[in-house]
A and B are shown apart, each in its own frame.
Chain A
């Protein structure tokens, strides 16, 4: 793919991400996305052959963006406690600055499973993100900072918590700015998982 084509592809993903997140998957049409970008519907289909495939590419894209940021944390030579704080910061600042990314995950990916059942089974489309979380846990247990346990019991506690907070933010029920909660939530996660 040429650079120009790759850029166009990414701009379609971002436009669709915003529309899907704010208007919902089913209410957003391919012509809506094309109109937002000022491109023809026919040309958009050159990049993505269906709305479902576009939706799947978006979840891969967001997973990779988030995974790349966590990967940077994994590379740091700091304690697991500090890494937890950084991951919470990343997650919440993404919810602030690019709310459509997290909204997409919560309101499109998790709520329209039929769209993702063929092509995004299980962890196929979110492996960019999950792999980095696995590496974080692996390092933290190897260094003796976190307690060894089943992956999902730890993962659920960490990511379920963060997802829940962002969901509450999206519903407009959090009395304070989400960044206010970073310190306490990081500490809660650390104390729940520490060795």
Chain B
């Protein structure tokens, strides 16, 4: 390897209990190799890298930036006979930055369901700090998502490679990415404002918050700002947001809005129930013709 390459930050991608979803999502980044060219990829689960799994488990790999993927368990998950938790502790200490990529690594996520008592995120168990938090908090960046959007990770990596500070919230999520709700930028916002529900999945018209279980108004994420495949998002194509970036993901009955006597059980983020209900009562009193019509009258 030449001198220039060695001066680049060393990037180590380490997997715990995972479905590979974040790994694969990142492979969809249109500028993947351009981004990775700013780093020395010392180990990656599917890309060719400098060190083997044997080097990794021997705790011999240098590491500046550690990307963790998958839920965390203290005991019982080994690679090459070595506890993954031990590897994470070692490389976590070595690294200048730790990125938990995905909801599993950040909060526990899907794989926590298997053994909720023992499986968690690396530094958070849902929203609670784990015992590792104190030790690693100063270098921790949370990127929840199931999976993460490739551009969320590239944003963090490029900021780190240029030595920029990343503003984080209390759960260590970059504010630039998670300061918004998924509702922000949804093409159905007019229907939300006028409380017009959609008549089915996949339709262009109507809002999915009232019947179809959309969690966009109280889920932090920029899915409707930084589009998936640079093209679209779940809610734009007519599928509810499942709240996959949230500490308590996954919830059940994802396609149904839970209501109490017709009132949504969860309010939009930070909106007092009285304010929401007052607004809803007023808005529902009006019938706006445009919102009751199809956008494209294909079937007429």
Contacts and interface: CB of A to CB of B under 8 A. Distances in A.
B278 interface: yes
B282 A134 contact: no
Contacts, number: 57
B260 A123 contact: no
Nearest to A136: B261
A148 interface: yes
Interface string B274-289: 1001100110111000
Contacts of B270: none
Interface in B241-300: 259-263, 265, 273-274, 277-278, 281-282, 284-286
A180 B284 CA distance: 37
Nearest to A143: B260
A131 interface: yes
Contacts of B281: 122-124, 127, 130-131, 134
A148 B274 contact: no
A187 B286 CA distance: 36
A-side binding surface: helix, strand, loop or mixed?
Answer: helix
Contacts of B277: 130-131, 134-135
Contacts of A151: 261-263
Contacts of B282: 122-124, 127
Contacts of B274: 131, 135
Interface of B: 259-263, 265, 273-274, 277-278, 281-282, 284-286
Given A138-B263, A141-B261, 14 more contacts: A121-B285, A122-B281, A122-B282, A122-B286, A123-B285, A130-B277, A131-B274, A134-B263, A137-B263, A138-B260, A138-B265, A140-B260, A148-B260, A149-B261
A-B pairs, top 6 by smallest CB distance, nearest first, are A122-B285, A141-B260, A151-B262, A137-B261, A127-B281, A123-B281
Interface of A: 121-124, 127-128, 130-131, 134-135, 137-138, 140-142, 146, 148-152, 154-155
30 contacts: A121-B285, A121-B286, A122-B282, A122-B284, A123-B282, A123-B285, A124-B285, A127-B278, A131-B274, A131-B277, A134-B281, A135-B273, A135-B274, A135-B277, A137-B260, A137-B261, A138-B260, A138-B265, A138-B273, A140-B260, A141-B260, A141-B261, A142-B260, A148-B259, A148-B260, A148-B261, A150-B261, A151-B261, A151-B263, A155-B261
